[in-house]
Amino acid sequence: MELVSLPVLCAYWSSKDRLSEQSIREVDWSSLSCAMKALPANLQRWTPKHISGMTGVGNFLAIWNCSAKSSCPRCSSCPVEDHLHVPRCSAPTAAAECSKRHLAFRSWMQTQQTAPEIKAFLFEYLETVRQPSLGVPTVRAWSCQPHLFQSAISS
């Protein structure tokens, strides 16, 4: 049984500036519902928490009284670690972990025979997570790609 109705949930995240009206309209909610129901119960609970940023990072560890401080344990430049800081942390150990995971993802995409243009776009996009100043790649930059690929990027 769903505890929160979709319209109420969308209105809440919209009020927090986490979802725009346009993004709410673009989500295929019935497909998302089917995909979520196919997950094991623990992942059904974890996924929305992860997406909303309610994770085991300094900010929430302090709120939950699991840690005396909310700062990033890897670097000294972040007094309140949140879910947005984790992939952007400038500590050498964080950069090494990110590189390790990117290599594993590349390897997986290779075994799945992912199209080269999809791999290129995804890794360009992932770089914007670590370095937001790069700006998110747009469909215009990939205009030479097939129509379906453009639609996937747009969505």
The larger pLDDT score, comparing residue 37 to residue 116, is at: 37
Burial 86-107 (b: 16+ CB within 10 A, else e): beebeeeebeeebeeeeeeeee
**How confident is the model over 82-87, as a mean pLDDT?**
89
Please state whether the predicted TM-score (pTM) of the whole model is above 0.95.
Answer: no
The larger pLDDT score, comparing residue 151 to residue 142, is at: 151
Judged against a pLDDT cut of 80, whether residue 74 lies above it is answered with yes
Domain ranges of the chain: 1-52, 55-86, 91-155
Of the pLDDT bands very low, low, confident and very high (cuts 50, 70, 90), residue 73 is very high
If you search the block for the tokens 């790649």, which residue do you land on?
137
Q: What percentage of the chain has pLDDT greater than the value 90?
A: 35
Q: What pLDDT score does 1 carry?
A: 39
